[in-house]
Amino acid sequence: MTNLQNHNFHIQIVDLLQSARQQVLRTVNKTMVITYFEIGKKIVEEEQNGKERADYGKSHLKELSKVLTIEFGKGFSVTNLQQMKKFYVTYQKQQTLSAKSEIANKKQQTMSAKFELSWSHYLTLVRMDNENERQFYEIESVKNNWSVRELKRQYDSALYTRLVLSRNTEKVKELSAKGQILEKPKDAIKDPYILEFIGLPENSDYSESDLEQKIIDKLEHFLLELGTGFTFVARQKRISFDDKHFRIDLVFYNRILKSFVLIDLKIGELKHQDIGQMQMYVNYYDRKVRLKDENRTIGIVLCQNKSESVVEFTLPENNEQIFASRYKTVLPSKRELKLLIAEKESQR
């Protein structure tokens, strides 16, 4: 065998072993999650049997913790056992991704279909009090293969709440049942976009080019914030006609919507001229760049502040292509998000 053949052979063996290792880890993880669910169930059932004594639950968890620690070592503190109990209580009735399994009489297979994430993921999810919100993050974690860190980041940046802001009642119900489904351009839009990962303070002085460079430096994070199906195409894309030259800040493509997505970055308050400029960019791409089997181009103007009235009266009533969204460079507080929701609801 030549050196190249030997190299390819070695790579194939390494790939096989890595694949097998990942499969083993997934199997072990799923078994662990199912086992913790069953432990939580046993704890709840035992506490219900002994509920005459108010302190029964706490004392019997201490005893159980001692026994399991002696038998199996670390990992079975009272706190961990309480988390298993909460996990069971949270998920015993919830219909998750594959809850309505056709194999009702095969418990292990049904449970395996129900839990697709790691124990660390579920520890994060059970802290979410809103069931619809929790189901949304669970579905999105599975669909997008989110790490625990990414799940926490999306939750801390209030992804669910921001998507709710741009949807009607029926679409909001769909979020908790199916996650984020992209069927129309509006489905891909958030307001606001949270860009805390770029590291710019909220009230600092920076230029549009500074903001663009920070986004490019953290492009992987920005793609996650944009959402499902986005791929990067270009920055400062030049378009020319009649001896005039213009540059579009950022160009992306969404594989699900089959559309180019143009993004212009604006510092300060949005002006009607900014929307008009984006309309020109979108028209150019629709007429000169997109292919016959692709859908119409989407334009997003990202700004620090905007007047909904300026947006409403600048765009045509049947607009489905141009959007203006705010961006924030720090995580908004719960109070700020509640105010945004109230503001949106009053405008519907």
In Å, how far are 320, 342, 347 from 47, measured between CA atoms?
55, 42, 49
Q: Within a 13 Å sphere around the CA of 81, how many CA atoms are in the beta-carbon half? A: 21
Question: With bands split at pLDDT 50, 70 and 90, how would you rate the model's confidence at 51?
Answer: low
What's the chain's average pLDDT?
A: 85
Residue 250: per-residue pLDDT:
98
Residue 53: per-residue pLDDT:
53
Strand partners for 259? 254
239-279: per-residue pLDDT in tens? 999 889 999 999 999 999 999 999 999 998 899 999 999 99
At 148, list the tokens: 């625990």
Residue with tokens 């097998």: 20
Structural domain boundaries in the chain: 1-92, 98-181, 184-332
CA–CA separation, 79 vs 85, rounded Å? Answer: 10
Residue 321: per-residue pLDDT:
95
Residue 96: per-residue pLDDT:
43
Q: Kindly report the CATH class assigned to 184-332.
A: alpha beta
CA–CA separation, 326 vs 305, rounded Å? Answer: 6
Inter-residue contact 163 to 190 (CB < 8 Å):
yes
Inter-residue contact 261 to 251 (CB < 8 Å):
yes
Residue 4: per-residue pLDDT:
64
DSSP string, 282-331: HHHIIIIIS-TTSPPPEEEEEEEE--HHHHHHHS-TT--SEEEEEEESSP
Q: Quick one: 8 exposed, middle or buried, by C-beta within 10 A (0-12, 13-18, 19+)?
A: exposed
Above pLDDT 70, what percent of the chain? Answer: 86
Residue 335: per-residue pLDDT:
76
- ∠ CA 284-289-293, nearest 5°, is 120
Selected residue with higher pLDDT from 46 and 348: 46
Question: With bands split at pLDDT 50, 70 and 90, how would you rate the model's confidence at 124?
Answer: very high
- ∠ CA 283-289-293, nearest 5°, is 100
CA–CA separation, 147 vs 141, rounded Å? Answer: 8
Name the residue type at position 4: L
Name the residue type at position 49: N
pLDDT-wise least confident of 158-172, 261-275, 334-348: 334-348
Nearest to 90 by CA among 123, 119, 121, 126: 126
Residue with tokens 């400062």: 236
Residue 136: per-residue pLDDT:
93
CA–CA separation, 72 vs 146, rounded Å? Answer: 30
24-40: per-residue pLDDT in tens? 777 788 889 999 999 99
Residue 52: per-residue pLDDT:
52
Residue 97, pLDDT > 50, answer no
pLDDT-wise least confident of 140-144, 202-206, 277-281, 315-319: 202-206
